[in-house]
Amino acid sequence: MTTISLKHIHKSFGAVAVVKELRLEIADREFLVLLGPAGCGKTTTMRMVAGLEQATQGEIAFDGARVNELPTRERDVAMVFQNYGLYPHRTVEQNIGYPLKLRGVPPAERAQRVARAAERFELGPYLQRMPRALSGGQRQRVALARSVVRQPRVFLMDEPLSNLDAKLRVIARSQIKHLVQELAVTTLYVTHDQVEAMTLAHRVAVMHEGVIRQLDTPENIYDRPADTFVAGFIGSPAMNLVPVQAAGAQVQAEGGLALRLQAPRDGALTLGMRAEDIAISGLDEAHLSAEVYTCELLGDSTMVTVQVGGQLVAVKADKALRVAAGTRIGLKLQTERAHWFDRDSGRHL
C-alpha cells in the first residue's frame, strides 16, 4: 500500500514560481489525474514526485515518510512519459526488462517476466525489434509493458496517450484503466485532456498557473465546478459562460438583452450553462431569445450556436433539428442546473 502526500509544495525555476502552495493527498490505490492547460505545472509536479526534480519548499511523503532526499530509483516508481522514453539502442525485450536488470533480477526470471508483460500488451512478435522500427502505438505499449514488468509502489504517467491517433487513444485509455484497476497501484496521471481525466480518474485535480483550483470526483468537477476556470475547462463543449448584470428581478446580458431568470444576488455575475441543459423552445416560454450563428451536425446530436449579447453559446439539440443562421429562437434553461459565479473572483456562488 502507498499513499502520497504533497505538503505545501513550492517550485521555482530562478525567479519564476511554477508550482505554488500545492497540497495533495493521494490515497492508496487511488487513480488521481492532474489536469490543466499547457504550462500550468503538471509535469513539474510529477517530476518532483518521481525525484527527477527537487521541490523548492515543502515535503513529499510516501506512506507518511519523507522522500524529498530519496533518489528516483529508491522511490520505487514506474514512469510512462509522453515520448515513451524508450532506449533507442536496446531491443523491445531489453527495454521491457531494463527495470528488472537494474534491480539485479537473474536472467532466467527476467526473461519469464518480460515474456509475460509482452504478452499482456501483444508485443510477442516484436521482442527483437528496435524501437525505431515500431509504430507509435506499439512504442506506447512497450513503455506500458516496461512499467508493469514489476509491481511498483506508484505509477506516474505523463500524457502517455498524446502521441496516439484519436481511435488508438480511446483503446489505450481503456487498457490503462483496466491495467491500473487490476494492479491496484497508486497512480498519478498527468494530462491536459479533460476526457481522459473524466474517464480515468477516481479524483481529478484541476490545475491552473501552478495552483490546484479544484480537487474532486469527475462527477463533481463536471456538475459543481468551483470557479469559472474549471467550468470553462471541463466538458466538450465547455460550459457556456455569459457575463450578466443582475439588479432586483432583472438579469441582463451585454447589449441589454433581458434574461427571464432569477439570479442569486445582484451585481456583476457570470451565468454558466452547459450545452445539454439548454433546450430550444417557443419564444413565449423561453428564458431568453437569441439569433442562430451556426448549426452543426455531429451525428448523435446537432450543435446550435447562438449569439447572446455578443457571446457565443452552444446548445445541444436533437439530431433531427435544422435551423438556418440568423433565425431568432427561444432558449429554455434547466434552471436548477444553471451556475452563477461572481464575475470578479470567478468563484461559484
Contact residues for Mg ion (CB under 5 A)?
43
User: How would you write 275-317 as a 3-class SS string?
Assistant: HHHEEEECHHHCCEEEEEEEEEECCCCEEEEEEECCEEEEEEE
Q: Which is nearer to ligand ATP, 44 or 302 (CB)?
A: 44
Q: Which is nearer to ligand ATP, 36 or 346 (CB)?
A: 36
Q: Which is nearer to ligand ATP, 234 or 314 (CB)?
A: 234
Shortest Å, Cβ 188 to ligand ATP: 13
Within residues 159-188, the interface with ligand ATP by CB under 6 A covers none
Within residues 267-306, the interface with ligand ATP by CB under 6 A covers none
> Where would I find the H helices in the chain?
42-50, 72-75, 92-102, 107-120, 136-148, 166-183, 194-200, 218-223, 228-233
Shortest Å, Cβ 143 to ligand ATP: 17
| Amino acid sitting at position 104 | G
142's CB contacts (< 8 A; 6+ apart) are 84, 86, 92, 95, 96, 121, 123, 126, 131, 134
Rule CB under 6 A: say whether 192 interacts with ligand ATP: yes
Q: Which one-letter DSSP state was computed for residue 256?
A: G
- Phi then psi for residue 256, to 5 deg, are 85, 5
* Residue 41 site contact among ligand ATP, Mg ion, none (CB < 5 to 8 Å, cut-off depends on kind): ligand ATP
Within residues 24-83, the interface with ligand ATP by CB under 6 A covers 36, 38-44
* Residue 15 site contact among Mg ion, ligand ATP, none (CB < 5 to 8 Å, cut-off depends on kind): none
* Residue 225 site contact among ligand ATP, Mg ion, none (CB < 5 to 8 Å, cut-off depends on kind): none
In order of 213, 280, 328, 333, the CA distances from 240 in angstroms are: 19, 15, 19, 12
Contact status, residue 34 vs residue 42, Cβ threshold 8 Å: yes
Q: Which is nearer to ligand ATP, 53 or 342 (CB)?
A: 53
Helix axes 107-120, 92-102, angle to 10 degrees: 130
User: Which grid cell is 302?
Assistant: 446537432
Total chain residues near ligand ATP (CB under 6 A): 11
Q: Which is nearer to Mg ion, 35 or 148 (CB)?
A: 35
Q: Which is nearer to ligand ATP, 42 or 139 (CB)?
A: 42
* Residue 13 site contact among Mg ion, ligand ATP, none (CB < 5 to 8 Å, cut-off depends on kind): ligand ATP
* Residue 235 site contact among ligand ATP, Mg ion, none (CB < 5 to 8 Å, cut-off depends on kind): none
* Residue 144 site contact among ligand ATP, Mg ion, none (CB < 5 to 8 Å, cut-off depends on kind): none
Query: 245: which strand partners?
Result: 252, 268
Residue ranges in contact with ligand ATP by CB under 6 A: 13, 18, 36, 38-44, 192
